[in-house]
Structure formats: C-alpha cells, structure tokens
Structure 1
Amino acid sequence: MKSILKIFRRRRDAGKSTGAKRRNSAPEGGRPQAAAARNMEVQKQDEENRTTATPGGGESREDAEGQLPEDARDLAGPKYLDKYLEGVRMCLVTAGLVTKVASFPGSDIVFDALASIVENVQTTRDNKETKDGLRRYLYALHDAIPKDNPSDWPEQSRSALDKFKSEIVDQLKTCTKFEGSRITGFIFAKLDKERLSALEKCISRTTNAFQIALAVEGVGADARIEQGVHVLNDKVNVQFDAQALREVVNQLPKLATYDSSRTRELIPCHPGTCDVILKEIKNWATAKMRPQVLWLCGRAGTGKSTIATTIATWADKEKHFLGSNYFFSRDVEGLSSCSHVIPTVAYHLSEHLSEHNPSFTEAVRSRLVAKNGHVLNQKIEEQFESLIAEPLRFTHVTGKPVKRTLLVIDGLDECDDQHRLKDTIGLLLRLLSPTNAHIRILLVSRPENYIEDSLSLENGLHPHVARLDVEDFVTTSDIKEYLRLELSKIGKADWPSKGDFNSLVESCGQLFVYASTVIHFIREETAIRNHRKSLQILLSVKSNTNHGAANAYKRLNELYLQILRTAVGESDEGVPEAMVQFRNVLGTIALSRIPLPVSSIAHLIGVEEEGIWTILEFLRSIIIVPSQARYRKEPPRFYHPSLREFLTDAKRCNDERFFIDVPYMEAYLFQRCVDIVIKGSTGIVAEDLIPVMRYVCQYWGHHLEKVQDETAQVMMKLGEFVQRHLLKWFRFARVLLDSCDPLFQCMEFAQKWVLKSNYGSELSENLGSMLRSSKVLDNGLRLWPVGTYDAARSKCGASITFTFLTLLSSGEIRSRR
C-alpha cells in the first residue's frame, strides 16, 4: 500500500499523464475501479457474515513451508518458478482437477491451481463460509482483470500481476504435496485451520493490492483515488483485525455471562421478592461517594446468584452501564478457573466503551490479537496490566466525562484455585483509584474466610469495600411470594390449603434453595405420585430442630434425604448391588472433573446406560436431567451445589446408603480410568467410547491426587500402569488431546502422590524420568499431525473401529517416531 501511495504522490508532483499506456477500456467504463468497489462490498459482506473457520483438519503438515525437503524448497523458490509451475500444470492435468471457476487471462496455471484448490477443498460445516469467501474473492478478481493479453498491459500492471502471482505461489506451496523434488498433488481434503485461514488472507490481501494497481494505471494519480486507497487499506486491515479478534474471543468462555444458555439456567428474582436488597444494591451502583466494591455474601441456597443475575440484567437492559459480568460455575467446563477472567472482562469493557472511549477499545483489541492471542497464556498479573490497567491509564483524560461502569462477578467460591482467585481479587482492587471512580465492582460469593482475607487489610475490610449479607435482607415474605407464584402454576386456586402452605413456608426458612427444591419435587409427577401426594411427602419431613434461620440447613438435609429415600423406595433396602450402582452414579456426577453425559458415565463406571437413565428419572427434583430423545449428549447436573456438599459430608448425610466417601470414590474412579486407558491404548476403540477416552486420558491423575489412603490395590494398579502402559498412554493421549500439558499434569500428580507413600521410590523414579523426557521431547511431539486420531476415524466411517496400533503403523506417524 505504501508503494502505491508513493506512486500517487510522485505523479501528482510531476504533473505527468499516464494516459498513453492506459487500456482502451479503462477511460470508458472505469472497470478496474468498479471491480475494486465491488470487491470492497464483498469484503464488507464477509466482515459482517463470515465466521472463523475451524475445519476438522487431519492432513500431515510435513509439506508446510519450512518443513519441505531441501530439493522441494528449491523447486518452489524463485530460481525454479517455471519448473514448479510446469510441475503443477502436469499434476492438475493428469488428475483432471483443473476447475474453471472463472476464465482467467491466458488460462494461467497460477490461477488454475488457485481456483482448483479453492473449489476442491472439502466443504464441512465449519469451513463452508470460509470457502465461500474464497470463491467470492476469485470472482471479484476475475471481474477486475482485463480480458486482453497481459503482454499488452502497461509495464506497472504487468509488474503487479507478477507480484500477485509470486505471492500466490508462495501460499500454494503450503498446499502442495512433494515426493522428493516431484510434485505429486495438492491437499484438497479438509485443510487445517492455519493453512485455510492463511490462504484466505493471502488471496484477500493480494487481490486488493492487484486491483488497486490496475486502477492506478487506469485513472492516473487522482487525489480522490489516493484517498480511496487509504480507505481500502483501512478496510482491509480492519477485516484482518476482526478475523484475528474473533479467533481470540472464541477461546474465551462462552457461557460466562448472565444471559448465556446454560443447562442450569441463571434466572432473575421473581417479581415482588428480594426488593429491599435489590434496592440497596442499585443505590450503591448509581450513587456517588460510595465504596467502589460491594461484596454480596451469603450461605448456600440464599439466592445470591439470582440476585446477581437480576442486577446484571438491570444494569444491562435498563441502565446500559454493565461493563462486564462473569459467573463462575463448577459444573460448566472452563468456568471454575481464573485463567480467562481478566481477558474476558477486558473484552467486555472494550465492547462497552467502544463509543465513549474508542482509544481504550482499540488498545484492548490490539493487545488481544497481538502474537496470535499470546496474552491468553500469560500470567494473570501480566494480563491485567496489559489488557486493563495500561489501557485505562493511557486513555484517561483529566476533566473528560466518563461513563459509569459496573462489573458483576458471581460465584467466587466456585473457582477451583483459591490462590489464583485471591490474586485475581487483588488485581481488581488495584482499579480502586480516583481516576477510576466511575467503576463499580459487585463481587458475589459465600462468606469464605479466604475471600474475606483477599478483600481486607490488617484492620478489616478495605476502605473501598462494603459488605452485604444476604441473610440480613431475605424475609419470610420473599419465600412466601416465591412459593405462591410457583404453586399457582401447578395446582388449582384452592390448593394447597392455607395450613399446608404456611407449614411449607415455615420449613423453608430463608433458603431459596429449599423452596426451589420443593417446587421441583411437587412439579415432578410420576406413576406413583401426583402433586398432592408429593406435597404430603414433603410435609411429612420431620426435623428435630426449631424453625429458625440457624437450623435451616438441618431441615435442608432432611429434605434431601426424603427425596433420595422416595427415589429408591423400600424395595431397595436389602439390595446392596442396586445401592452401590445408585451411589456410583451420584458420586460420578459429583466428582467428575468436567460434566459427563450419561453414555460416558456408563462407560466410566461400567454399567448399562439405561440403568442410569432409570435412576435419574426419580431424581429430577434435585438433578437437571437432559431429555433422552433430544439431548442425550448433554450431561446431568445438580440443581444446586449444596447437594454435592450434602452427599459428601457424613455429618449431614447420615444415611450410609447415600453417603459418598470422597477418597474411596476417587480411588474407584482412578482405577476405572486406568482400566479404560489400558483397553483403549492397546485394543479396539469404538466410536461411542471417544468422549470417555478423552476424559480418562486427561483426568486419571486428578482422581489419584485425592486418594488419601495409599491402599495396596491402588498402588498395584498404578504400578502396573506405569511399568507397562505409561508410554502407550502418552503417545495415545498426545494425539487424542492434541496437547502435552494435561499429560504432564497427570504425571506430576501421580509422582507427588507416590512420594507421600512409604513404598514407591521406583515408581516415583520412573514417573520422574518419563516426565523429564517427555518435556524435553515436547517440541518434537508438536510436529505430530493434529487430530490424526479423529481424522482417521472420520475417513474410515462412523461405524468403523480401529486401534491405536493402526495409527502407529501409518506412514504419517511412523515418519516422526
């Protein structure tokens, strides 16, 4: 672009005319300019409609530039350009693959190869729009190129054509297959993400540059055209930046916001409930001279997330000052970690301030896309400084009005790393300054000591932090109004009776989780009970405690026990095997590191899938059960975290039939993971086993870490795995997971666990040796073909099963061993 602008200036200053060598058609119709304008419209449409391509790759990367054989790189170099193109022509003609997307001048082989590759790329759900965009560029290019012989073109136009073809050839090399110095074909199947994206960007960039060069020759050095080049240059850069930004944003958690579509939906407060506390929070968010941070805390089930959702909705829809919101969750993958909180908040702020402070928006977005989104892999301190602190500091203008901004972060106690959470809170507190007085931060959690410590100085809470306890605001009238509204949707106007209703309200105390569980249980009709029968079962729950707020959780324990006893019935009292399966199902849902669908749970614990569905059908009041017909791949989830805490606490769950002994269950899950890993890495892997294979390969070490007693059975299982199957697992899992990092973590957990035992020095040495060797070889392992396992499976057909030994014997992997 700079070189073209220099041409404009040189011609303008010299006052020379370029009309002598101008094409006859250019002055009459201005075709190059019109084509450039059409292409600008195409790019505008692409920018609005095209999504980031994520093809399901699988081809070898050995032909990518920088990894070609020496003779192949020479062949593709400038010195042997004609020889390379002749090889391309022969290959395409022999294979009958020349695709006439458009008739290019002289049937140039560069255009033929480019069109053939674009046309023959396998269309998938993920890459269809990207491929369509490539085809639009080709059609726009066809419109822009004059149909006369290029030898008759002006010298500068011919130079532009040569430059265009040279850049295209460089990009085509990454799609070329070589055997020695001979071209054997092109990669027409699913191109991987990097090559397809690179091809698209190259065509877009070179097409625009070529069209502009033609327009320059056609209309001369007009100042308005120079300005048009600036505009086009800016649009091209914006398009590339938008594409890069989408790729980075797609790596952020997609279900973190209040309005995201979660299985356990975030819902606002019912009308007429929690009015007092909502009014208090809204006053804090809008008033001046108030602490910048409000810590809303409350015990489990008091409605904290519901209140946070209501405030986020109000700030977004009514006040339009919601800067960011992030709702942690243990049962949503990626939302129990702090690693992407800061980038997500920064991106939300860039959207929120795009009109009021565009400089901040530009700074954040440019830093997000820099070095292919490297900031996402940095420490959270570096993320905060780069994405939030510096952009705010550099774009602050004294005296300029600033826009009120509210940040809502809920569920802090559901973050799985307390130390990193404390660091994140500390970074947010660094925003407390006079220059950021317009920012308000609402933090929501249980009243955990480590969270309070993060918000405190030596003498108590930070002076810019205020605290609200939910229990101080929730009243019996709130619970009564919620029950009245929900029961009116279920029964008749005269049901339940006034006495039954008051008894139900009294049992709930201040716990919305008790009230919502009651509603779920009553709403759930079965063959043996209707709404009225369900209400009587709930009213029969007896507690030895008074109906005070302090005893609310004891009544919640009794409620959970009653629902579980109703589910198993009296007939299962003397069937230990049935109760073991019942307990294993609940234990797996409670302790799996990521939510698993029913099919994966069945494979993991070795039971029939239909047996799990039968169990879940009787627990719909406390577990979100997906539809068997429509959502079988959705995982079941607990309605509320308090159920997991109840099941794993022997003091609260005093019926041993339902109590989940965490260390024992973790030991059981570890052994099951190892058994499945051994079977999968040395035997047949069926299609429906792939999801659970990914889980066990990634998380067996996490389960081992929580085993407290070094039992001989667990040690024997670990010893067998390390001695005979560790290397097979590593090779297998590296291809399956496309990353070594989770594998390193598993081995580190295992090594630490072995070191705690009194017998395991040899195991520890073997694990340490494997860990060190694997990290040294990690860079080499990154050259393995991405997604080979899935690619081989998809090409063999969904019904085909195969072994990992087959992959090891394939040419692609063997070349890297």
Structure 2
Amino acid sequence: MALPSGEYIIANVRTRNRAAFSNSDDHTDLLSSSGNHATFRDKWLIEPFPNGQYTIINKDYNSMAICDHRPRTGSHVFGVRVPESGAANKPHYLWDIRSTGVPHVYTVCKPASANLCWKAELEHGSTITLAEYRRDDSFHWTFNFNPAELKPAVGGVNLTEDERKKAEERFDKFCENRVPGAAFDSQQHDPASKCLPGTRIAVREKIAQWRDDHEAPPIFWLKGPAGAGKTSIARTIAEECRESGNLAGSFFFRRGLAGCTDITGFVPTVSSQLTVNVPLSLNLVYKAIHDDHFIFDKSRQDQFKKLIVNTLYQLEDVVTPKVLIVDALDECDTKSAVEELVNILSDVHFPLRVFVTSRGEGYIQEIFNHPNIEERTCCLPLEDPDLEPSGDIYKFLKNQFSAISFMKRHLIKQPWPSEADLQNLVKLSEGLFIYASTVVRLVEGDTYPPDRLKNVLSLPKSPLAGLDCLYAQILASAITSPEFKQVVGTIVLTRKPLSVNELQHLLQLERHAVLNALHGLHSVLMISNDDDAPIQPFHKSLYDHLTDENRSGAAAFIDPTVHAIRITLACLKSMLADMQYATSHRPDWKKSYACHNWFYHLADALIHKNLSQEDYHNFTDCLTNFFVYAWNPWIEHFKFQSDLGTVDRLPAEQKSVGSSI
C-alpha cells in the first residue's frame, strides 16, 4: 500500500501549491492553493480500503474529493459532503495513490481509468482536473513532504512553456529511433524465459547485494556459457527491479530481432525508458536538451552521459539505486560496437548501476580485462562451483514434467517420469538450462511423451555432444524436407523474425512447403498457429549448432556466407516480382523485409569469394535486373516514405559490388 492512513498536506511537485477546498458546498471544485488564504483548507484525512484504494476527505470541511461516474480528460475533481458510514466505497469516491518510484512522490488516479490523474495548474485558485497522465511534474504530488525540499531540479526545471515544448519535440523525435523489441518485457521475447520461483537464489542474492552497496563497483558482469540461463536471470532481475522501483531501463541484444544486434538505438531506447521508469527524470532530460542544442549530433557517449548518467546523479538524494540491464552483449554484431558500449557503461556512477550478461568470449574478456574497466566491474562466472545449478535444473524439470503429466494423465501411467529419469536428465544437461527447457518442449509436444523421453535419455552423455545430439534428433525429421535449409537458414540469418506469410513471399514458396520445412521444430523455434506471427529460435545456441558443420553435420549445416547470397537473391527476386504485379509504378514496400534489408545481406554475401559458376551467373544476372528495373522505384519508395537515411547507408555496399563481382 502506498500510504498509511492519517492526516496529510497534499502538494504539487511542479507548482508547489497545495490541494484544497475553499468551502463546504456540494460540488465545490478542488483547487490549487498557495497556502496563504484562510478559506482554503488543505488538511486531508486519507483512509485506505481493503482493496488498496483510498478515500480523500478534507478535515475542516468534512468534504470528500470525488469525480464524475464516468470521468474523462478535463473533468473537475470536486467535493461532496461525506456520506453516511459504509457508503463511501462507491468507485467514484475512491482513488489510487501510486508511488512514482521516487521517495515522497506519488500520482493520484482513478482506479477504473488508471491514466486519468490529478493535474495542477500554476495559478493559485485554479481547478485541479483529471487528465491523461504524461511524464510531467504537474501530475506528481507529495504527501506531508515539502516539494521545495526535493532537489531544485526535481521540483521543476526553470524552462518556459515554449522552451519545454521545443525540448519535448526534439526528445520525441530522438526517441523514434528506440528499439521496442530490446525491452526486457517486449512481446517479441519468450515469456517463459525467466527463473522459476525458488531457483537461482544464490546468484540473485549476490546481484541484490551489489545493487544496494553504494561502495560496490558500478558494473556487474554475469558471464557464462551458452544455455546457462543468463537471459532468464537478467529478465528476472529486471522484473524484480521494476517491482521494487529500481529499474532504470533494459536493452536485451538478440540475434534476428530488428535493432537488437547493434547499438544504434541504445541511447534512445534507454533514455525513453528512464523517463517512464523514473518520472522525475523527464524535466531534467528536457533541461539537458535545452542546454545543449547539438546534443543529438554528438557521440553516443556524450548523449548517454548527459541524458542518463547526469540526470540520475541530479536525483541522487531522492531516488533509490537504479539498475540498467544489458543482456547478451555477445549478440551485438561487431567487436568494435561491444567495446564502445562497455566504455560508455564504465563511466556511470551512483545512483546508476549497470548489470551486464554475456558469454565469456575471448574478445569480451579482453575488453573487461582493461584496467580502467576491470576496477569498475564485479564479475560473477556462472561456472563458479558455489553456483552449481543442478538443484535448480532438477526443480525446473520436476515442475515442468509434473504439469505435462497432469495435462495428459489420461495417457500417461503414473508416476512419471521416474526419479532416475529426472536425475539422468540433470546429468545430461551439465548445467545448461537450455538443454532442460528444450527437452521439456520436445517431450511436451509429442503425442505420447514417455516414448519421446526414452529417446532423449538414449542420447550420448557428453555435455557438449548432449545439446548437439538433442538438436540433431529434433532436426532429423525436418532435414528431409527439400526446403529445410532455405526456410530454416532464412529464419536464423534474417535481421528480424519473419512469419509464415513473410517467408512465403520472400522465398516465393507455397504455404505447405514452408510448414513442411518447419514440421517437428516447435521445441527449438517459436512457431504460432497464426501465419502472421514471427518465427524465431528460442535460443542462440540453435544458430551456433546450425552454422558449425562440426556440430550439426553436413545435412543440417547452414553456411552463413553462402546463405547470405541466397537471401540476397531471394530479396531481389521478391522485389522484381513485386514490380511485375504492382498496380502502379511504385510497389507497396512499406512492410517489405526485402526492400529494407537486401543491401545488408548483399554486404554479407560479398564476403564469399568462391562462388560456383552457376551461383555467380545467378547472382550477377539478378543484380543487373534489379539495378535496371527496380533501382529507381526503390529509391522513390524511400523518398515517398521520407526515409532517405536508409539510402544514405548504401555507398559502401554499392562500391563493393563493382570490385567484388
């Protein structure tokens, strides 16, 4: 509950005025008071109800603050005489008082319309109305706390309305470059990917101790092998930080998700999240933008420091420690980008902390070994014997198989699985949660789970071979499809997840051919019954398996450079086909994957120098046709969409075409 019952002065953070009634009449408006007028009574009795909502009653006038039955933006908050005992629990008599995550600062909103909140105007005597909540201190209130005692910048930055509006417009434009899919709670992530209650306790306790220790290094680096559960831990920590008011923002790198493999959108994403998670930061962000007109022309390091680090530093006295969570650093696409980002993050200071996860790749280890970064980093390897996860993997398997057994109790003879089977699976996993979760999905999807579990338990017991053999068993039925490499290779190598319909269009295949190639892969790919839903791997280890011939074998091996050529050809052919069937001279490419990504795959394809004669001719013929028939309409498309920035990124790829083909 946000507040205990008691007597309060309610003051607005921005205006410093108090909420008050000027008389005891029915339907008298709630007003903004400077506190210097005798008729304006500003002492309030606040009483909680069992449902967590509150009545707000003026002590002197015995009037209750309420609103209309069906309030809307602009509705007045007004007073009525307190009803008889027991009658004050009507919905329009009650309010939600919610913490903003900043000590002493709250919002007051209608339970049935959570976005309608109290809003104060500057003038003494102006009415307090309900409005759609914005990240603005006129919506923020203190209870028995003088807003003047907040740091000056918190209680309202000295910007005129015009200056504030211009800064807001510039910030909103900057935030158009954010990456929605990078947030920890994005719908594009596997919702099941978080720690089971009661698991990974030792790791989570170490992270919590670091978060709250002002003297601890500002960076916590959790490193471990693929499939060890780093992302599940990161997502759990992010959720816990959000619930406790400690979350600054999150950025989850993810291969195959648009914008989630580079750092271009990192600062816009994190700064936009910060203003939502820490509402009092917004005015400070506007002030930073106003004070530096060229801030959005500067380096990412300067932007990060001024918009995020310095903003939170100014709130140091009034906010709890805030954690920025960066997951899967190793899935960022270039070593130079990783190095740049780590250098940016190493410059933070309290109250901001940074929690980072990655594999212990050689180049990442080298970056963290740099003396300036190492001294500012607390490193926790998941291979640490004190963090041995076998017990947690056992709990996970026990929990999941109990659910499967219950759901299919009419088929499965109980008890199932046996204790010996569970212990064998724990040994086969060798500490890799991805092994355990893949086994669960595989067994769950079978018509008779016990038979599938027997097959899994017959696989080799070497830890590396265990995961590879499990993948090989799952892929065995799918690789018989003639379109397997074409479809699955495209899924693991495209820059964003594609749906069945998008794969059909890009690869120019029939629906049944796409579905046939995906048959039996529900345990390793997120596949929906909705043909418009994106398909993506549950875990990057599938990409690692498929793109390493020593692990996958020739039948399943997908060569990234060879397949880059095939995806490039598919993109070009798809656009040429769109040209042929367009009803106007400009095809509708607004949502076309090929239109927005062909040149990236072309750049990857040009790495491959040893094309077969047939591939060489196909490649050059298709490129020639594209430049002759589709180049101008493609340029026109981006002019029409006012997005010539995409075209500006082309010169390097264009120049390399002539020298490489």
TM-aligned CA deviation for residue 595 of structure 1: 1.8
Residue 483 in structure 1 maps to residue 483 in structure 2 = no
C-alpha offsets along residues 680-722 of structure 1, whole Å, 9 cap, x if unaligned? 3455478799635425655452342343424444443454455
TM-aligned CA deviation for residue 753 of structure 1: 5.4
* TM alignment of 1:108-127, pairs within 5 A: none
**d(CA) in 2 for partners of 1:713 and 1:750?**
22
Residue 445 in structure 1 maps to residue 358 in structure 2 = yes
Q: Secondary structure at the match of 1:406?
A: strand
Task: Decide whether aligned partners of structure 1 residues 713 and 754 sit closer, same or farther in structure 2, where only a CA change above 3 A counts.
Answer: farther
Residue 421 in structure 1 maps to residue 333 in structure 2 = no
Query: Could you say which residue in structure 2 is the equivalent of 1:729?
Result: 630
Q: TM-score, normalization: structure 2? A: 0.67
Percent of pairs identical after alignment?
Answer: 23
Q: Secondary structure at the match of 1:326?
A: strand
* TM alignment of 1:153-192, pairs within 5 A: none
Matched residue type, 1:495: W
TM-aligned CA deviation for residue 242 of structure 1: 5.4
Q: CA RMSD in A?
A: 3.3
Q: Secondary structure at the match of 2:357?
A: strand
* TM alignment of 1:683-702, pairs within 5 A: 684=582, 691-695=592-596, 697-702=598-603
Task: Decide whether aligned partners of structure 1 residues 724 and 315 sit closer, same or farther in structure 2, where only a CA change above 3 A counts.
Answer: closer
Query: Could you say which residue in structure 2 is the equivalent of 1:121?
Result: none
**d(CA) in 1 for partners of 2:629 and 2:181?**
35
Q: Is the 8 A contact 1:582 1:615 kept in 2?
A: yes
Query: Could you say which residue in structure 2 is the equivalent of 1:360?
Result: 284
**d(CA) in 2 for partners of 1:276 and 1:254?**
31
Q: Which of 410, 434, 445 is the matching residue for 2:327? A: 410
Task: Decide whether aligned partners of structure 1 residues 358 and 722 sit closer, same or farther in structure 2, where only a CA change above 3 A counts.
Answer: closer
Matched residue type, 1:675: K
**d(CA) in 2 for partners of 1:512 and 1:600?**
31
Segment drifting more, 442-451 vs 246-255: 246-255
Q: Is the 8 A contact 1:624 1:639 kept in 2?
A: yes
**d(CA) in 2 for partners of 1:478 and 1:537?**
23
Task: Decide whether aligned partners of structure 1 residues 680 and 698 sit closer, same or farther in structure 2, where only a CA change above 3 A counts.
Answer: farther
TM-aligned CA deviation for residue 619 of structure 1: 0.8
Residue 537 in structure 1 maps to residue 455 in structure 2 = yes
Q: Secondary structure at the match of 1:467?
A: strand
Task: Decide whether aligned partners of structure 1 residues 679 and 348 sit closer, same or farther in structure 2, where only a CA change above 3 A counts.
Answer: closer
Matched residue type, 1:554: A
Matched residue type, 2:540: P
Residue 553 in structure 1 maps to residue 454 in structure 2 = no
Q: Is the 8 A contact 1:353 1:360 kept in 2?
A: no
Q: Which of 242, 258, 263 is the matching residue for 1:333? A: 258
Q: Secondary structure at the match of 1:491?
A: helix
Task: Decide whether aligned partners of structure 1 residues 722 and 296 sit closer, same or farther in structure 2, where only a CA change above 3 A counts.
Answer: same
Q: Is the 8 A contact 2:562 2:605 kept in 1?
A: no
Q: Which of 617, 627, 631 is the matching residue for 1:716? A: 617
Aligned residues: 493
C-alpha offsets along residues 286-305 of structure 1, whole Å, 9 cap, x if unaligned? 12322121111111100001
* TM alignment of 1:129-278, pairs within 5 A: 245-265=171-191, 267-278=193-204
Residue 454 in structure 1 maps to residue 367 in structure 2 = yes
Q: Is the 8 A contact 2:564 2:602 kept in 1?
A: no
Q: TM-score, normalization: structure 1? A: 0.55
Q: Is the 8 A contact 2:599 2:653 kept in 1?
A: no
Residue 387 in structure 1 maps to residue 307 in structure 2 = yes
C-alpha offsets along residues 485-510 of structure 1, whole Å, 9 cap, x if unaligned? 11110105611122222222221120
Residue 466 in structure 1 maps to residue 367 in structure 2 = no
Task: Decide whether aligned partners of structure 1 residues 516 and 389 sit closer, same or farther in structure 2, where only a CA change above 3 A counts.
Answer: closer
**d(CA) in 1 for partners of 2:420 and 2:315?**
61
Q: Secondary structure at the match of 2:248?
A: strand
Unaligned runs of 5+ in 2: 1-70, 76-158, 407-413
**d(CA) in 2 for partners of 1:234 and 1:401?**
24
Greater strand share, 1 or 2?
Answer: 2
Residue 522 in structure 1 maps to residue 439 in structure 2 = no
Q: Is the 8 A contact 2:256 2:493 kept in 1?
A: no
Q: Is the 8 A contact 2:260 2:332 kept in 1?
A: yes
Q: Is the 8 A contact 2:325 2:356 kept in 1?
A: yes
**d(CA) in 1 for partners of 2:291 and 2:356?**
26
Task: Decide whether aligned partners of structure 1 residues 601 and 383 sit closer, same or farther in structure 2, where only a CA change above 3 A counts.
Answer: same
TM-aligned CA deviation for residue 251 of structure 1: 3.5
**d(CA) in 1 for partners of 2:357 and 2:192?**
14
**d(CA) in 2 for partners of 1:698 and 1:728?**
16
Task: Decide whether aligned partners of structure 1 residues 536 and 367 sit closer, same or farther in structure 2, where only a CA change above 3 A counts.
Answer: farther
**d(CA) in 1 for partners of 2:306 and 2:351?**
20
TM-aligned CA deviation for residue 272 of structure 1: 1.9
**d(CA) in 1 for partners of 2:506 and 2:248?**
42
- Larger Rg computed on CA atoms: 1
Q: Secondary structure at the match of 1:269?
A: coil
Task: Decide whether aligned partners of structure 1 residues 689 and 378 sit closer, same or farther in structure 2, where only a CA change above 3 A counts.
Answer: closer
Q: Secondary structure at the match of 1:333?
A: coil
Q: Secondary structure at the match of 1:334?
A: coil
Q: Which of 200, 213, 223 is the matching residue for 1:287? A: 213
**d(CA) in 1 for partners of 2:437 and 2:569?**
37
C-alpha offsets along residues 423-471 of structure 1, whole Å, 9 cap, x if unaligned? 121012122xxxx33322111111122222332325x962121110112
Matched residue type, 1:415: C
Q: Which of 497, 508, 520 is the matching residue for 1:606? A: 508
**d(CA) in 1 for partners of 2:278 and 2:269?**
14
**d(CA) in 2 for partners of 1:689 and 1:409?**
31
Greater helix share, 1 or 2?
Answer: 1
Q: Is the 8 A contact 1:333 1:594 kept in 2?
A: yes
Structure ranking higher on relative contact order (CA contacts 8 Å, 6+ apart): 1
Q: Secondary structure at the match of 2:549?
A: coil
Task: Decide whether aligned partners of structure 1 residues 234 and 751 sit closer, same or farther in structure 2, where only a CA change above 3 A counts.
Answer: closer
Q: Secondary structure at the match of 1:586?
A: helix
TM-aligned CA deviation for residue 530 of structure 1: 1.4
Task: Decide whether aligned partners of structure 1 residues 500 and 293 sit closer, same or farther in structure 2, where only a CA change above 3 A counts.
Answer: same
Matched residue type, 1:504: L
**d(CA) in 2 for partners of 1:567 and 1:697?**
27
**d(CA) in 1 for partners of 2:500 and 2:334?**
28
Segment drifting more, 703-712 vs 592-601: 703-712
Q: Is the 8 A contact 1:476 1:510 kept in 2?
A: yes
C-alpha offsets along residues 388-411 of structure 1, whole Å, 9 cap, x if unaligned? 355567x489xx566422221111
Segment drifting more, 412-421 vs 240-249: 240-249
TM-aligned CA deviation for residue 610 of structure 1: 1.9
Q: Secondary structure at the match of 1:519?
A: helix
**d(CA) in 1 for partners of 2:73 and 2:257?**
36
**d(CA) in 2 for partners of 1:747 and 1:242?**
34
**d(CA) in 1 for partners of 2:282 and 2:613?**
63
Matched residue type, 1:454: I
Query: Could you say which residue in structure 2 is the equivalent of 1:641?
Result: 540
Residue 563 in structure 1 maps to residue 474 in structure 2 = yes
Q: Is the 8 A contact 1:730 1:743 kept in 2?
A: no
Task: Decide whether aligned partners of structure 1 residues 745 and 710 sit closer, same or farther in structure 2, where only a CA change above 3 A counts.
Answer: farther
Q: Which of 522, 538, 549 is the matching residue for 1:650? A: 549
Task: Decide whether aligned partners of structure 1 residues 745 and 729 sit closer, same or farther in structure 2, where only a CA change above 3 A counts.
Answer: farther
**d(CA) in 2 for partners of 1:273 and 1:416?**
31
Query: Could you say which residue in structure 1 is the equivalent of 2:247?
Result: 322
**d(CA) in 1 for partners of 2:453 and 2:434?**
17
C-alpha offsets along residues 127-183 of structure 1, whole Å, 9 cap, x if unaligned? xxxxxxxxxxxxxxxxxxxxxxxxxxxxxxxxxxxxxxxxxxxxxxxxxxxxxxxxx
**d(CA) in 1 for partners of 2:476 and 2:617?**
37
**d(CA) in 1 for partners of 2:312 and 2:556?**
52
**d(CA) in 2 for partners of 1:539 and 1:240?**
64
Q: Secondary structure at the match of 1:282?
A: helix
Q: Which of 262, 267, 279 is the matching residue for 1:342? A: 267
Task: Decide whether aligned partners of structure 1 residues 722 and 729 sit closer, same or farther in structure 2, where only a CA change above 3 A counts.
Answer: same
Task: Decide whether aligned partners of structure 1 residues 385 and 289 sit closer, same or farther in structure 2, where only a CA change above 3 A counts.
Answer: closer
**d(CA) in 2 for partners of 1:291 and 1:636?**
39
